[in-house]
Structure 1
Amino acid sequence: MRHKIILDTDPGIDDAMAIAYAIAHPEIELLALTTIFGNVRTHEATRNALALLDHWGSDADVAEGEPAPVAMPGNEPSYLVHGRNGFGEIDIPASRRSKHALDAVDYIIEATRKFPGEIVLCAVGPVTNLARLLERDPDVVTRIKAVVVMGGAVHRKGNVTPMAEANFWNDPHAADRVLGAQWPLVLAPLDCTMPVVFTPDYMQALARESPGLGEPLAAMAEFYARFYRSHMGIGGCVPHDVMALSWLTVPGAFRLQKGALAVITNGPAIGQTLFQPGGTQSRARCFDGRPDHMVMVDTDPEMFLADYMMVMTRHAVAGTGN
């Protein structure tokens, strides 16, 4: 069975790692990239999405998303982490294609009407587009097959503040709305992403075994890894965004916990993810009426790394990754 995917993204180095995986995986049908601010600004994300798809020979659509958070001023993009162009200063030729005529929200609405019950929406940046989607078409929750969100930190500390993960910190109001919606949602927080590191040796092997996809990713990863080394003492880089796709293709790599979720939207803890395990109760009113969702709370790094390498290598062997 092939998964029909719309990937909501802010490319971004780890976004590029996820896009490459989506293109390479035989069980993924990548319908579109919808773009959002975060690692770069939204118009830059659109430019980067088009460039990556052209560079890697994909004809998936690109629909541009929201330019700013739903209820607060935007933060500065993460140029320090991803480089001024989002690709670690590695040049990817600009696309001659244009973005889709529909904006991201209308594109998702039309796609879910065309394929009701078939589309998985994977969001790997701030979830502003998803919050606007719920506003514009509340019935979309009945047409979507699943939503997988890379964001938040449940049992771990944050990565932009001690409490907050970057995607949720960039639009906490949107994150709170999306996590409170009555749709089938799986959360991929830092709990499941931080155990996995793409080391320099791993990236060199990826470039060698799948040069078409792996060489630009390995070049980007050098910039990305410098940030992890200098700021976190990690010998490599973390492929956060791939987790939202890997949940669909290699679910056995993850340990799950079920519960209700909320996000703090003001004060010094803004962007913090709150979690109430399923079957428990508390006096915290923020969970009232909220559904239980699945949360990926840990990862088998060896299984994840083996799967990523295998998918990329098989793509190269098939003659489309060189």
Structure 2
Amino acid sequence: MRHIIIDCDPGIDDALALLLAAGSPALELLAVTTVAGNRPVATTSVNARRLLDLAGRGRVPVYAGAARPLGYAEPRCNLVHGEDGVGGVDLGAAAPVQEGHAAVRLVELLAAHPPHSVELVAVGPLTNLALAESLAPGILRRARRLLVMGGALRVPGNVTPAAEFNFYADPVAAEMVLASGANTMLFPLDVTSSAIMSPSWIGSFGELDTACGRAAAAMLRAYAALDPLLHDACPVAWLLDETLFTGEPCHLEVDWRPGATAGHVLARFGEMMDGGHQANAMAMTAVRNDALLALVRAAIGTLP
């Protein structure tokens, strides 16, 4: 069994990642931490709590984290997932989130477990992780792997021509995390743009006579017309089946300066990594999409 922590900003694709983890017996979800991203952190925290409760995982703690990115006075949110972040879908009443800041809890959780025994999955802006690294330099290297959904390497961004949303939302944090020395696996738009939700797959959730199935179907109907891609489920799916993805070692740097290229990733592969640029990540470049869809659908089908 793999011990994991998920840092997220739910968000409908985050919701699918959480439900995938909750429905996978091979994963022990230690905690969920939340950050401002798709919506403000107060909203993403409530969404995470509601999703876990809906999935029968009420004992998994949720810790709210950063309300704004490093270097900016306000969060860089969007309305792709609706005002409430889940497409207006009723997920039920929300229990309170746990006390304590997410960055502090990340430090405590990683320090409390043996080195390289916890998988850290980050599918939102990387502010909480950067703060944790600032509080305890080297703490991210204690994770067995740091699996990040973010960035656009050889393809255009999805919020500006230069940048993917998570890295655009906090480019300073993205550069800090990639420079931390953690064992990083990146799931950029290059691969998630191939994780396409087919209409028949989306419709199949309507056949599940369960609370989670109905919620997934309603959220996906609200989301798929705008962005029919399983971005945030990809890192969790890799933990369950590494053969779903193909990757390449690379050296990554993020443009953190304010301006038109904020959040842009300079990626060096192969011969482009000269003596001064050693690999600092494994970037995923391809996915077996049909197998990915089947994995996500099967896991959510086991939930209450």
- Tell me if TM exceeds 0.5: yes
Aligned partner letter, 1:273: V
Equivalent residue pairs, number: 301
Other structure's SS at 1:187 match? strand
TM-superposed deviation, 1:212: 3.1
CA contact (8 A) 2:141 2:180 kept: no
Contact residue 61 and residue 99 of structure 1 kept, 8 A: yes
Q: Is the 8 A contact 2:249 2:279 kept in 1?
A: no
DSSP-derived class of the 1:173 partner: helix
Q: Does 1:274 align with 2:273?
A: no
> C-alpha separation between the residues in 2 aligned to 1:310 and 1:95?
26
Check conservation: 1:42, 1:65, Cα contact below 8 A: yes
Match of 1:299 among 283, 287, 290: 287
- Of 112, 121, 136, the residue aligned with 1:114 is 112
Verify the 8 A CA contact 2:67 2:75 in the aligned structure 1: no
1:149-173 CA-partner distances (Å, limit 9, x unpaired): 0000111111001111000000011
In the TM superposition, what is the alpha-carbon distance from 1:262 to its structure 2 partner?
0.7
| 1:77 to partner: Cα distance | 1.7
Contact 2:250 2:278 in 1 (8 A): no
Name the aligned partner's letter for residue 287 of structure 2: T
Counterpart in 2 of 1:137? 136
1:6 Cα deviation (Å)?
0.7
SS of 2:266's equivalent? strand
- Which residue matches 1:226? 225
- Is 1:19 aligned to residue 7 of structure 2? no
Whole-angstrom CA distance in 1 between matches of 2:7 and 2:294:
25
What secondary structure does 1:160 align onto? coil
Distance 1:290 1:103 in 2: 34
Q: In the superposition, relative to structure 1, how do residues 173 and 142 fare at CA in structure 2: closer, same or farther (>3 Å)?
A: closer
Q: What is the match of residue 81 of structure 2?
A: 82
* 2:249 counterpart SS class: strand
Deviations for 1:15-41, whole angstroms, at most 9, x for unmatched residues?
100000000011111111100011110
How far the C-alpha of 1:310 sits from its partner, in A, is 2.5
CA contact (8 A) 1:207 1:213 kept: no
- Indicate the larger mover: 195-204 or 22-31: 195-204
Residue in structure 2 matched with residue 101 of structure 1 by the alignment? 99
Match of 2:68?
Answer: 68
TM-score by length of 1: 0.89
What TM-score does the superposition give when structure 2 sets the normalisation length? 0.94
Superposed displacement of residue 206, structure 1: 2.5
User: 2:159 matched to which residue of 1?
Assistant: 160
Q: Residues 290 and 173 from structure 1, CA distance in 2 versus in 1: closer, same or farther, beyond 3 angstroms?
A: farther
Question: Stretches of 4+ moved more than 6 A in 1?
Answer: none
* Deviation for aligned residue 1:269: 1.3
Structure 2 counterpart of 1:21, one-letter code:
L
The residue type paired with residue 292 of structure 1 is N
Establish whether residue 32 from structure 1 lines up as the match of residue 7 from structure 2.
no
CA apart distance, 1:290: 5.9
Distance 2:40 2:263 in 1: 19
Task: Report % sequence identity.
Answer: 33
SS in structure 1 at match of 2:168: helix
| 1:62-101 C-alpha deviation (Å, 9 max, x unpaired) | 011111111123344212x1001111011112223x2222
Distance in structure 2 (CA, Å) of the matches to 1:196 and 1:11? 18
Letter in 2 for 1:125: G
Q: Counterparts of 1:248-287 in structure 2 under 5 Å?
A: 248-266=239-257, 267-281=259-273
For residue 244 of structure 1, what is the amino acid of its counterpart?
A: P
Aligned mates of 1:253, 1:276 — CA distance in 2: 23
Deviation, structure 1 residue 210:
6.4
CA distance in 2, matches of 1:142, 1:157: 30
Residue 214 of structure 1 aligns to which amino acid in structure 2?
Answer: G
Counterparts of 1:83 and 1:273, CA distance in 2: 28
1:279-311 deviation per Cα after TM superposition (whole angstroms, max 9, x unaligned) = 5346xxxx9566421000111111211222222
The aligned amino acid for 1:280 is M
Amino acid across the alignment from 2:136: D
- In the alignment, what sits opposite 1:183? 182
Write 1 or 2 for the structure with the bigger share of helix. Answer: 1
The yes-or-no answer on 1:246 pairing with 2:237 is yes
| Structural RMSD (CA) | 1.7
The whole-number CA distance in structure 2 between the counterparts of 1:75 and 1:278 is 36
Which range moved further: 9-18 or 287-296? 287-296
